[in-house]
């Protein structure tokens, strides 16, 4: 009863409806509780007013329990010796830290997006820029040259224009490496499908690379026979065919191809093996240089094996019948 009276006084101060009625009647709470049935009807609270008072008491009790619970939670997260008054400050600090972390995450995500964007842009645009540059300027080096240099080999190379290279070299290389060089647009699909078909029939996988594909590989990519390099080789070949003419492709290929350990380009190969410039090479010498191109680190034009000799004979026979297939190489 004492607790109820205390709550009633509190609600009377705050303007609770049933207890304002009691106060206006000049009766104490104790008299109202004891003599409720005998009170004048005007001083008695209605049933709805009684329900409102009980509801008010329930709300107060709920609020008190909530405050008690939150105070205990605040004490639980505070370090030992901290004042309960620091709870609000700790909450504000935690909220600020969460906001800072969220802002940092958004900033990091934005930076990562820009890094990915610029990386992809560089990867896609760099080959185009290099192709446009090397259409006019001789390539100073290739990835293969850099790899060999780190392996401890030197670099011997001398750039010469196509006009200063013996026609015998042009004929021999096309005869042995790519008969359809002037006819295809970078990829010889007929030879490619034939090579794949022969492989599935149980034959040894043979190369179907054109001179254009080998130029793209030497200019942009690393040595090897993995599928990743092969996949990257095709679009780069199409790019070179779109931006360069056939003469430029052949000129670059003959000047950057590896012709032995540390030897790059036809001029350096001619001087290293036959002690003469590329412009003075005869049919046999040109055929020897073309014959070793598939594996110049294993075979030598100046010391040909029986297998290389057989390739030289086949090359010289093909050179006789090339004629119309060399129209794109003439100025």
CA distances in angstroms from 286 to 1, 134, 290, 315, listed in the order given: 120, 26, 6, 9
Tell me what the mean pLDDT of segment 116-133 comes to: 85
What is the model's pLDDT at position 42?
A: 47
Interval 201-234: pLDDT, tens = 777 656 678 999 999 999 999 887 777 787 888 8
Higher-pLDDT residue of 115 and 196 is 115
What is the model's pLDDT at position 101?
A: 74
Residue 17: CB atoms within 10 A of its CB come to: 15
Rounded percentage of the chain residues whose pLDDT exceeds 70: 71
Tell me what the mean pLDDT of segment 168-180 comes to: 92
What is the model's pLDDT at position 59?
A: 78
Q: Among the listed ranges 65-74, 131-140, 149-158, 165-174, which one has the minimum average pLDDT value?
A: 65-74
Higher-pLDDT residue of 228 and 73 is 228
Tell me what the mean pLDDT of segment 68-78 comes to: 52
Higher-pLDDT residue of 64 and 299 is 299
Interval 300-313: pLDDT, tens = 999 999 999 999 99
Higher-pLDDT residue of 330 and 295 is 295
Higher-pLDDT residue of 148 and 191 is 148
CA dihedral (169, 172, 173, 175) positive or negative: positive
pLDDT band at 111 (very low <50, low <70, confident <90, very high): confident
**Predicted confidence (pLDDT) at residue 47 exceeds the cutoff of 50:** yes
Task: Give the rounded distance of the alpha carbon of 194 from its chain centre.
Answer: 34
What is the model's pLDDT at position 102?
A: 75
pLDDT band at 18 (very low <50, low <70, confident <90, very high): very low
Buried-state track 18-36, b at ≥16 Cβ within 10 A, e below 16: bbebbeeeebebeebeeee
Residue 312: CB atoms within 10 A of its CB come to: 24
pLDDT band at 98 (very low <50, low <70, confident <90, very high): low
Phi, psi (deg, nearest 5) at residue 179: -60, -30
Q: Give the range with max mean pLDDT: 92-106, 206-220, 248-262.
A: 248-262
Q: Give the range with max mean pLDDT: 39-53, 188-202, 281-295.
A: 281-295
Higher-pLDDT residue of 282 and 9 is 282
Interval 181-195: pLDDT, tens = 998 888 877 777 776
Cβ-based neighbours of 256, under 8 Å, separated by 6 or more: 139, 142, 157, 215, 218, 219, 264, 265
What is the model's pLDDT at position 120?
A: 77
């Amino acid at each position: 009863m004492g607790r109820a009276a205390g709550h009633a006084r509190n609600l009377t101060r705050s303007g609770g409806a049933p207890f304002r009625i009691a106060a206006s009647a000049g009766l104490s709470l104790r008299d109202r509780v004891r003599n409720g049935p005998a009170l004048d009807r005007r001083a008695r609270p209605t049933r709805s007013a009684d329900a409102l008072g009980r509801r008010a008491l329930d709300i107060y009790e709920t609020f008190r329990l909530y405050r008690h619970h939150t105070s205990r939670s605040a004490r639980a997260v505070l370090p030992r010796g901290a004042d309960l008054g620091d709870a609000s400050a700790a909450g504000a600090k935690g909220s600020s830290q969460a906001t800072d972390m969220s802002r940092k995450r958004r900033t990091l995500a934005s930076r990562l997006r820009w890094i990915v964007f610029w990386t992809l842009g560089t990867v896609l645009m760099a080959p185009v820029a290099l192709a446009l540059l090397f259409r006019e300027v001789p390539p100073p080096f290739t990835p293969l040259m850099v790899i060999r240099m780190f392996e401890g080999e030197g670099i011997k190379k001398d750039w010469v224009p196509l006009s200063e290279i013996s026609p015998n070299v042009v004929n021999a290389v096309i005869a042995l490496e790519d008969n359809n060089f002037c006819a295809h647009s970078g990829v010889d699909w007929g030879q490619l499908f034939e090579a794949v078909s022969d492989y599935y029939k149980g034959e040894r996988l043979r190369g179907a690379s054109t001179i254009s594909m080998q130029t793209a590989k030497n200019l942009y990519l690393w040595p090897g026979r993995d599928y990743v390099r092969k996949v990257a080789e095709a679009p780069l070949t199409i790019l070179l065919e779109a931006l360069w003419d056939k003469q430029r492709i052949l000129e670059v290929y003959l000047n950057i191809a590896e012709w032995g350990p540390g030897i790059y380009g036809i001029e350096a190969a001619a001087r290293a093996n036959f002690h003469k410039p590329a412009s003075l090479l005869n049919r046999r010498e040109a055929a020897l240089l073309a014959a070793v191109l598939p594996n110049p680190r294993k075979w030598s034009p100046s010391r040909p094996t029986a297998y290389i000799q057989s390739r030289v004979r086949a090359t010289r026979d093909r050179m006789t019948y090339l004629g119309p297939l060399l129209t794109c190489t003439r100025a």
